[in-house]
Amino acid sequence: MKLTILLMTVALLSARAEGWGQTITLSGKDLSLKEVFTAIKKQTGYVTLHNKELLSTAAPVTVSVRNMPLQDLLNRVFANQPLKYVIEGKTIVVSSRTAVPTAVPLPAGSFGAAADTLLIVRGRVLDMNSDPVTGATVANMRTRQAVASDKNGLFSIRARIDDVLEITFIGLEKREWRVRSASAGVIQLKQSEESIKEVIVTGLVDRQGQSFTGAAVTYTQKELMQVGNRNVIQSLKNIDPSFRIMDNLSMGSDPNSLPEIQMRGQSSLPNLQGDFSGNPNQPLFILDGFETTLQRVFDLNMNRVASVTLLKDAAAKAIYGSRAANGVVVIETVRPARGKLRVMYSGDVAMEAPDLTDYNLMDAGEKLAFEKERGIYKNFTFGASGVQERDLIYQENYDNVLRGVNTYWLSQPLRTGVSSRHALNLEGGDINMRYQAGITYNNNTGVMKGSGRNTMALFTTLSYTYRNIIFRNQLEFNRNVSTNSPYGTFADYTKLNQYYSPYDENGNLVRVMGTYPFSYNGTSDRNVYNPLYNATLNVKSENAYSQLINNFYIDWRITPALRATGSVSYTRNESSSDVFLPPSHTSFNNYDANGLSDRKGTYTKGDGFSQSIISNIGLNYNKLFGRHQLLTNVTWNLNTRRDANTTVIAEGFGSDDVDNISFATKYAQNTRPSATDNRVREIGVVGILGYAYDDRYLLDASVRSSGSSMFGVENRWGVFWSVGAGWNVHKEAFLQNVSWLSQLRFRSSYGYTGAQNFNPFQGRTRYTFGDIVYNNGLGAELIGLPNSSLKWQRKMDFNAGFDMVVRRYLTLRFDYSKGVTTDLLVDMTIPPSMGFTTYKENVGEIHNTGYEFSVGVTPWRNDRKRAWITLNFSGAHFENKLQKVYDIFTTWNEKQDADKNQSTSATTFDRSVYRRPAVYLIEGQSMNAIWGVRSLGIDPLTGQEMFLDADGKSTWTWSTANQVIIGDNTPRLNGTIGLNAGYAGFTLAVACTYRFGGDLYNTTLLERIENVTGMDNLDKRILESWRNAGDVSKYRALTLTGGTTPVYTRPTSRFVQKDNELYVSSLNLSYDFYRQSWLKKLGMDNLRCSFYMNELMRLSTVRIERGTSYPFARNFSFQVQASF
């Protein structure tokens, strides 16, 4: 409420100030009109548009007024003059009462007898907020000569009657004006969706799309909202084929799980993510000119986003040098607009429904019958007591089935989540001062009970213009609290047999629901515990962060062509995590039997702190010299950041109710508090050159020199550069009469960028204090070997492509790219006698090759009825291969082989090593290859699997020596399919994603059909496994892995399936009430209602369990957007 009152007060003061500015105090004798206009401009800010020759005909005036309204003064001044005036916005346009144009005689025969005069046409260019546009290009389409508007938006150009002037400016709609007189008056340029896309926002300097040679694409807020309203990341995945969210079949729709993102494939090794705090293949995110985190982008309310630009090739991203190898995502938020106080609100209510269609589990009767038939209840040991005990267990389960117990465990921890999102924004101001303030709140309720993610943001923007200097400050505070479900993981429920009931006869939750026939989990405990019981305890699993951000910008327009810019950003982030499992939790079931009663109950406490300061100072020169357009920019930047984290794990709690870490009695066994404190400093200088001749031939070049404290002292500095060329074919004279071709541009680029998403201490000597006492002091232990020559990875990028537009009906874009990442950061193996097994080194290359394209077709359009139909289709294919690694991964590959050759009992060995094929790093092979032994299928006589060995001979024995590439996860083509249609305010948008041609190893077939103990619930397809001689089956004879001699199915081509998928990602139906007259009566400028269905339908050739730890979900939401 206080914030609203403050903003309304500011708005009233701004309006009052503008009212005062429209009165004049002036006294003088025989004043020229020029002197009068100078006084008016000084006191009110109104400028005058006039012809110099016209003022020479005006008579001097004598005035003496005090606080006279501007229009009254003008009426008095122009009363007896041969001139007249009109006020347009804050411009006073002066013209002759007889409207005689100023003429310049031409040389004889210049244009013929019908046009023997050349006019000096003068005018003023304003933007949609009636502010002067500095540096707008005004071109005579006939002579191809052009001029630029000055700091007041004024221009003058030579033209003759009926000539056409083209007025353009970055970010504004192009406009054409036909010359009828020497006065062009005020020409106002509007902003449109197309004009936003014509500007390439790089984060350092904006580039005009028609003269830019880089591979960059811009999406507006409208386009992003049409394909989804959940978050920016999801919308980008639904609209751009090169921007991929990697499948996470485990975490599903977990609101607290951040996605793994790749843009144009990967440039680092696949096994590095576990070694480093960040994802080495993740693109760089830039928000309002400053680097930011994936977490902040993930939590950003979409109503604040103005546009998102993806920088993909060297010409586009090399300005970010050592951080740009994986691509750059540049996000611009909405800036305050000039005018009266405007209030904008957006709110939506969403419903999340669990998607369990990929599960095909047995019901109670099916599972019990299977267990009996397959001998689960037979005695595996000698003695009558074992037989009797198993008979009793079977009878208990049989009785449950008879009395109708058929618990659908998958639904027990789930709910239909109801979420809401709200955004309130206030803005206004005048030509000098603008303000914006707002609040957003996202309440994301997950489908697992108790899980959710709540984010609140408060933000303000103040912009002040003093003469030709613009000051802008953004202040933002974010608060996030995320909670994980106390019901555990979804996998705890998918494995339970449905003949268990979570309740007793009185409807009370039970802790133990039954007994397994034999032990299979490595302990003597055979009880079947109820996971719902844990949810009734005082379980805590919560993460939170508070973030304060202040960005300050200054833009000094020294001349229409020369600008100096500066910016500084300060970000402070404090985070915490708390996980408490009370002593009654089923995780501690075996503690009493193992003498660990005093260690029951754990508390994991984490605290984090990060702080960053980023500063930039730049000088930009952009000028048109006839047919030559020149852009130069030099920017210096200095960054420093610190990340500190502390983790403590304590145990031994005497009560379920004491959920404070101070009540713990000891640290967790074999642990002690851990902490990290990372500090990175970076300095860089960027130079940019852009040149265009006649808007036809284009050249771009950039170079960045960066120094970073992350790497070895011998390689602190790196140089990254790019060069690009382009050709606007549609601007050539031989195509000027081809009216249907609006654009045809060929472009290519080449350059180097770098990657440094790694820990900052990896090249340094590191020590820690141990528990060894020497001479009454603790000794320091070496824990990291130094490498003074360690440097960042470098990536060479080559790109070639073209853009084509056929009027408003067809758009086509194609890019081919090739990247080579050198100096990979890898673990080099050394003899254990040196005290370490590995150290970091730069070795090897990754070759990334691919292409992408997008096609948009608008077969029908009716602007008068605001009607259209647009179809979009895009695709991409990128593949990655490892080169020049020689034998450095021999130890890694041998370890994978050793794991697969394990034959230890299931009670002492984790069966998960048999689920998935290993990741082998072999020179010349795809990094997404699937390795295994070629299968000949299941022998109908014996029910055993036959294989092909390395020599192509059949064998019954699986061996790591016979492993070859049996598939590849890389799809032949992935992309998007879209439909966008509108009519009279109604809009329908459908966004689909697809992929085909790749392979997937179906782990469900192993975990639910072959590598099973028989104790947990199973996929119904297990009933199709081989039973008797002569059976033709996809699955081998069942051998339960819970026995004393387990038999496992290891990686085999039998479970490699073609991964073809079509996903209806988003469907959006909306209506804009723009034609309704009652909007104005309610004081509303705009009202729009939308209905969304996200993650609606999935068609796939692979039936695999998805969302094993947290289920996937379908999302339905209703949204209202209104402005007042």
Claim to verify: residue 171 and residue 273 sit in the same structural domain: no
Can you read off the two tokens belonging to residue 861?
């359009």
Query: Is the Cβ–Cβ distance between 519 and 1014 less than 8 Å?
Result: no
Claim to verify: residue 226 and residue 326 sit in the same structural domain: yes
464-478, 503-517, 708-722: which has the minimum mean pLDDT? 708-722
Higher pLDDT, 835 or 494: 494
Domain endpoint, select from 291, 312, 336: 336
Query: Is the Cβ–Cβ distance between 1066 and 1090 less than 8 Å?
Result: no
Average pLDDT in the 630-642 region? Answer: 95
Is residue 752 in a domain? Answer: no
CB atoms within 10 A of CB 941: 10
**pLDDT tier, 146 (very low <50, low <70, confident <90, very high otherwise):** confident
Average pLDDT in the 245-268 region? Answer: 90
Average pLDDT in the 178-199 region? Answer: 73
Question: How far, in whole angstroms, is CA 1039 from its chain's centroid?
Answer: 46
Taking the CA atoms of residue 1076, residue 1078, residue 1079 and residue 1080 in that order, the dihedral angle to the nearest 10 degrees is 120
Taking the CA atoms of residue 192, residue 193, residue 194 and residue 196 in that order, the dihedral angle to the nearest 10 degrees is 90
C-alpha closest to that of 9 among 473, 438, 466, 426 = 426
Is residue 553 in a domain? Answer: no
Query: Is the Cβ–Cβ distance between 961 and 951 less than 8 Å?
Result: no
pLDDT at 715 over 90: no
CATH number of the domain encompassing residue 136? 2.60.40.1120
Containing 822, the helix (H) or strand (E) segment is strand 810-822
Tell me the residue range of the domain where 133 lies. Answer: 115-191
Claim to verify: residue 52 and residue 144 sit in the same structural domain: no
Residue 19: predicted pLDDT: 35
Is residue 640 in a domain? Answer: no
Residue 1062: predicted pLDDT: 96
Place of tokens 């090794």: 269
Question: How far, in whole angstroms, is CA 241 from its chain's centroid?
Answer: 13
Claim to verify: residue 123 and residue 92 sit in the same structural domain: no
C-alpha closest to that of 601 among 657, 529, 648, 651 = 651
CATH number of the domain encompassing residue 259? 2.170.130
Residue 595: predicted pLDDT: 81
Can you read off the two tokens belonging to residue 299?
């939590």
CA atoms within 13 A on the CB side of 509: 11
**pLDDT tier, 13 (very low <50, low <70, confident <90, very high otherwise):** very low
Residue 474: predicted pLDDT: 97
Claim to verify: residue 314 and residue 250 sit in the same structural domain: yes
Which of 256-270, 699-713, 733-747: highest mean pLDDT? 733-747
CATH number of the domain encompassing residue 83? 3.55.50.30
Crossing angle for the helix pair 384-402 and 364-373, to the nearest 10 degrees: 160
Claim to verify: residue 48 and residue 132 sit in the same structural domain: no
Q: How far apart are CA 240 and CA 1065, in angstroms?
A: 13
CA distances from 29 to 34, 110, 138, 247 (A): 14, 46, 39, 80
Average pLDDT in the 255-263 region? Answer: 93
Alpha helices in 170-271 (DSSP H): 193-197, 221-226, 232-239
Q: Is 1048 helix (H, G, I), strand (E, B) or coil?
A: coil
Query: Is the Cβ–Cβ distance between 627 and 693 less than 8 Å?
Result: yes
Query: Is the Cβ–Cβ distance between 947 and 957 less than 8 Å?
Result: yes
Higher pLDDT, 267 or 1117: 1117
Which of 278-282, 529-533, 732-736: highest mean pLDDT? 529-533
Give Cβ neighbours of residue 1014 (< 8 Å, ≥ 6 apart): 371, 374, 376, 1040, 1042
Q: How far apart are CA 332 and CA 201, in angstroms?
A: 8
Q: How far apart are CA 81 and CA 876, in angstroms?
A: 68
164-178, 273-287, 343-357, 429-443: which has the minimum mean pLDDT? 273-287
Pairing state of beta strands 164-168 and 243-245?
Answer: unpaired
Claim to verify: residue 262 and residue 331 sit in the same structural domain: yes
**Dihedral sign (CA 745, 746, 751, 753):** positive
Average pLDDT in the 754-776 region? Answer: 72
pLDDT at 479 over 50: yes
Is residue 292 in a domain? Answer: yes
Residue 1041: predicted pLDDT: 56
Average pLDDT in the 780-806 region? Answer: 84
404-408, 601-605, 1045-1049: which has the minimum mean pLDDT? 1045-1049
Query: Is the Cβ–Cβ distance between 214 and 206 less than 8 Å?
Result: no
**pLDDT tier, 257 (very low <50, low <70, confident <90, very high otherwise):** very high
Is residue 303 in a domain? Answer: yes
Amino acid identity, residue 252? G
The angle formed by the CA atoms of residues 563, 569 and 570, to the nearest 5 degrees, is 160
Per cent of the chain over pLDDT 70 is 87
Q: How far apart are CA 1088 and CA 723, in angstroms?
A: 45
Q: What is the pLDDT of residues 809-843, one digit of tens each?
A: 999 999 999 999 988 877 666 655 555 556 677 78
Higher pLDDT, 392 or 448: 448
Domain endpoint, select from 96, 127, 159: 96
Residue 476: predicted pLDDT: 97
DSSP conformational letter for 1036: P
Residue 1070: predicted pLDDT: 96
Residue 101: predicted pLDDT: 39
- Please provide the distance, in angstroms rounded to a whole number, between the alpha carbons at the two ends of the chain: 18
Q: How far apart are CA 533 and CA 508, in angstroms?
A: 10
Residue 95: predicted pLDDT: 76
Q: How far apart are CA 102 and CA 183, in angstroms?
A: 9
Can you read off the two tokens belonging to residue 812?
């086509």
For the chain, the average pLDDT equals 85
Query: Is the Cβ–Cβ distance between 478 and 472 less than 8 Å?
Result: no
Claim to verify: residue 253 and residue 318 sit in the same structural domain: yes
Average pLDDT in the 362-384 region? Answer: 79
Residue 34: predicted pLDDT: 83
Claim to verify: residue 299 and residue 332 sit in the same structural domain: yes
**Dihedral sign (CA 39, 40, 45, 46):** negative
Based on the number of CB atoms within 10 Å of its own CB, is 384 exposed (0-12), middle (13-18) or buried (19 or more)? Answer: exposed
Is residue 873 in a domain? Answer: no
Q: What is the pLDDT of residues 205-221, one digit of tens each?
A: 888 777 889 999 999 99
Higher pLDDT, 905 or 343: 343
Is residue 73 in a domain? Answer: yes
Residue 156: predicted pLDDT: 87
C-alpha closest to that of 320 among 637, 694, 3 = 637
Residue 558: predicted pLDDT: 92
Query: Is the Cβ–Cβ distance between 501 and 572 less than 8 Å?
Result: no
Query: Is the Cβ–Cβ distance between 480 and 497 less than 8 Å?
Result: no
Return left, alpha or beta for 507; rule: phi > 0 is left, psi -120 to 50 is alpha, else beta: left
Claim to verify: residue 272 and residue 322 sit in the same structural domain: yes
Based on the number of CB atoms within 10 Å of its own CB, is 1028 exposed (0-12), middle (13-18) or buried (19 or more)? Answer: exposed
Place of tokens 């050159």: 689
Taking the CA atoms of residue 410, residue 416, residue 417 and residue 422 in that order, the dihedral angle to the nearest 10 degrees is 160
Claim to verify: residue 124 and residue 80 sit in the same structural domain: no
pLDDT at 195 over 70: no
Instruction: Name the phi and psi angles at 980, rounded to 5.
Output: -135, 120
Is residue 66 in a domain? Answer: yes
Place of tokens 């449950």: 400
CA atoms within 13 A on the CB side of 667: 8
**pLDDT tier, 76 (very low <50, low <70, confident <90, very high otherwise):** confident
Q: How far apart are CA 907 and CA 523, in angstroms?
A: 8
Query: Is the Cβ–Cβ distance between 772 and 778 less than 8 Å?
Result: yes
Give the chain's domain count.
3
Domain endpoint, select from 191, 214, 249: 191
CA atoms within 13 A on the CB side of 1071: 4
pLDDT at 353 over 50: yes
pLDDT at 124 over 90: no
Q: What is the pLDDT of residues 562-592, one digit of tens each?
A: 999 999 999 999 999 999 999 999 989 888 8
DSSP conformational letter for 884: S
Can you read off the two tokens belonging to residue 700?
């771009």
What is the per-residue burial (b if ≥16 Cβ within 10 Å, else e) of 962-971? bbebbbbbbb
Claim to verify: residue 183 and residue 234 sit in the same structural domain: no
Amino acid identity, residue 770? G
Residue 107: predicted pLDDT: 40
